[in-house]
Amino acid sequence: MTVPTRMLGGLASSAVGLGCLPLTGGYGQVAAEEAVAAIRTALDLGVRLVDTADFYGGGEVERIVGTAIRGRRAEATVATRGGAVTRGSARPTEYDGRPEFLRQACAASLRRLGTDYIDLYLLARPDPAVPIEDSVGGLGELVDAGMVRHIGLSEVSEDALRRAATVRPLAVVESEYSLWFRDVERRILPTLRELGVGLLAHSPLGRGFLTGGLTLGPTDYRRRQPRFSPENLAAEASPLAELTELADAHGVRPAQLALAWLLTRDEAVVPIPGTRDRGHLAENAVAARLDLPASTVARLTALWHTAQSEQDGNQGGHHPS
């Protein structure tokens, strides 16, 4: 199977990537062997971009990625994030954007990944105590040292993005973007186009909402987010039903249609849905090759014509589907 290639700044990427958050076990237990098999299945399908972070599973997911790409390094485009401080927590408690901290974090990621370079290294979040210019300068030093090939930012404001772009060429910004959540269309996406920077779209399936099969267990973290309140989900039932009807008309699943729509928004957008299910991996790869008629794109765009507001933060940099 061939997945089309897209350019993110100067970085070549598969049009759909793989988000590795589900491999942490946060959505149910997953054996290391199962996680490795999922990543290798993605590579088999032509999904080259593998997105992780040094705080996923306390570094364990980077080790899993390293095991999965062993002997297949040339097939994988590895993206990871540094600059998060967890202090034993399951999620980042603060961020450190000092160049010396980023160099140490990157070196640790290289060891866990078992590779001598990282294709794409991103600042997990801007550190309010460190000028973004200094952090990006530190990332640039990693490029100069041969430790990373390309650099990017995650969850950044337009102002910080513009300032960062004056220091070093950026390949991507990673931010939430989906048919259901479209905040980046207001300011970030137009700025990325202007600067020639790509977008890694995390949570491209609305954290499971756009699959049409969302179920929330009693301890599911999404229950704490206003957009997943029973009242809000009830209000969203009608457009979700129309999405399902459109998907049925095209002979695909709602998730595939949602990914295909996202790929029409800009040639430098790459969604990174997270899954460990091999069937879903195959469906996501197929979505990268769907050619939607303009009428379908227009109907999908109109389903949620106003962006959801970010009322509940971004879960400390966690990027679910």
Concatenated DSSP letters for 51-78?
E--TTGGGGHHHHHHHHHHTT-GGG-EE
In sequence order, what DSSP letters do the residues of 8-58 get, joined into one string? ETTEEEESS-EE-GGGGTBTB---HHHHHHHHHHHHHTT--EEE--TTGGG
The three-point CA angle 28-89-122 to 5° equals: 90
Is residue 321 assigned to a domain? no
Q: Are 175 and 197 in contact (CB under 8 A)?
A: no
Is residue 320 assigned to a domain? no
For residue 153, give its domain range. Answer: 5-315
Q: Quote the pLDDT of residue 30.
A: 80
**Known catalytic residues?**
56
Is residue 213 assigned to a domain? yes
Q: Are 148 and 170 in contact (CB under 8 A)?
A: no
- Tracing tokens 């779209």 back to the chain, one arrives at 201
Per the structure, the count of domains in the chain is 1
Q: Quote the pLDDT of residue 112.
A: 98
Question: What is the distance in angstroms between the CA of the first residue and the CA of the last residue of the chain?
Answer: 22
Residues of the chain below pLDDT 50: 307-318
Tokens of 54: 């040094």
Q: Which of 8, 288, 14 is nearest to 173 (CA)?
A: 8
Q: Quote the pLDDT of residue 222.
A: 81
**Helix axes of 60-69 and 32-44: crossing angle, nearest 10 degrees:** 50
**Helix axes of 99-113 and 132-144: crossing angle, nearest 10 degrees:** 40
Q: Are 62 and 109 in contact (CB under 8 A)?
A: yes
Q: Quote the pLDDT of residue 321.
A: 54
Cα four-point dihedral sign 184, 179, 310, 83: negative
Q: Quote the pLDDT of residue 317.
A: 45
Tokens of 181: 């959540």
Question: Tens digits of per-residue pLDDT, 135-147?
Answer: 999 999 999 999 9
Q: Which of 193, 186, 143 is nearest to 168 (CA)?
A: 143
Query: What's 76's domain CATH number?
Result: 3.20.20.100
Q: Are 23 and 47 in contact (CB under 8 A)?
A: no
Is residue 73 assigned to a domain? yes
Question: Tens digits of per-residue pLDDT, 91-126?
Answer: 788 999 999 999 999 999 999 999 999 999 999 999
Residue 187: CB atoms within 10 Å = 13
The whole model's pTM is what?
0.92
Is residue 121 assigned to a domain? yes
> Distance of alpha carbon 152 from its chain centroid, rounded?
12
Q: Which of 297, 301, 182, 201 is nearest to 250 (CA)?
A: 297
